């Protein structure tokens, strides 16, 4: 009975937390990017259960009252990475992406095991392509959030062979910020279209967004490796 009670508690905690793509979709993004530890990419969602808002706010940017994401917005979010300040309940996904990269590079330089920062990075880049993690968390978002998170979950691995990443050349952190802005605005645009048409993503849209995340992850991983060498 005690064991059943624990699982019931976990179930209700799970319901109260906002997720992006479901587990297999995040893992598939990592595989498509060529990340050898892609199997870990669902872990940041698990971390929310114990870390609460410290991790939760890293996974989205509601962009209330914002028509377009800019490099200034991304830069302003960087110091807020891992902040659970109630004023940050609108999220700081874009800053979390840069923050995880900086943490990886810093800890690698100091000789620490830094791989988990890349796991967070890959997960956040997956969230970046999810339209409902880049638009206001209103009734439309709440109603359709879970369905859209799992829109291709059951078939993603069967289709992975047909997906191909684009070449994204990264030479600096500024390049990464520019790519974050680009993908965030693609996601906002799709989210706006879904609202106007009162619908979910279709599979074609979902696969395009997923491929964009994987392409950026692959480009950043290549740049990081070059910096280490």
pLDDT tens-place string over residues 188-215: 999 999 999 999 999 999 999 999 999 9
DSSP state of 20: S
Sheet strands (E) in the chain: none
Taking alpha carbons only, the member of 175, 160, 181 closest to residue 220 is: 175
Residue 229's pLDDT band (cuts 50, 70, 90): confident
pLDDT tens-place string over residues 54-70: 999 999 999 999 999 99
3-state secondary structure of 187: helix
Using the Cα atoms of residue 9, residue 151, residue 46 and residue 138 in order, give the sign of their dihedral.
negative
pLDDT tens-place string over residues 209-218: 999 999 999 9
- The per-residue pLDDT for 19 is 56
pLDDT tens-place string over residues 101-117: 999 999 999 999 999 99
What is the reported pTM? 0.91
**Could you tell me the residue ranges of all domains in the chain?**
2-228
Angle at 66 between CA 64 and CA 70, to 5 degrees: 130
Residues in CB range of 113: below 8 A, 6 or more apart: 107
Cα gap 179→163, rounded to integer Å: 20
CATH architecture for segment(s) 2-228: Orthogonal Bundle (1.10)
């Amino acid at each position: 009975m005690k064991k059943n009670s624990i699982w019931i508690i976990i179930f209700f905690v799970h319901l109260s937390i906002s997720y992006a793509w479901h587990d297999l979709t995040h893992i598939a993004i990592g595989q498509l990017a060529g990340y050898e530890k892609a199997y870990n990419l669902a872990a940041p969602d698990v971390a929310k259960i114990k870390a609460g808002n410290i991790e939760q706010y890293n996974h989205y940017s509601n962009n209330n009252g914002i028509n377009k994401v800019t490099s200034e917005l991304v830069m302003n979010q960087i110091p807020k990475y891992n902040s659970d300040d109630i004023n940050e309940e609108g999220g700081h996904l874009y800053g979390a992406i840069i923050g995880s990269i900086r943490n990886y590079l810093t800890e690698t330089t100091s000789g620490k095991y830094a791989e988990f920062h890349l796991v967070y990075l890959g997960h956040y880049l997956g969230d970046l392509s999810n339209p409902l993690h880049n638009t206001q968390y209103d009734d439309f978002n709440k109603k359709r959030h879970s369905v859209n998170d799992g829109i291709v979950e059951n078939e993603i691995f069967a289709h992975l062979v047909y997906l191909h990443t684009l070449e994204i050349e990264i030479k600096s952190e500024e390049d990464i910020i520019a790519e974050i802005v680009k993908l965030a605005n693609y996601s906002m645009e799709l989210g706006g279209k879904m609202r106007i048409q009162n619908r979910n993503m279709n599979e074609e849209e979902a696969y395009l967004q997923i491929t964009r995340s994987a392409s950026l992850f692959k480009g950043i991983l290549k740049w990081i490796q070059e910096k280490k060498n």
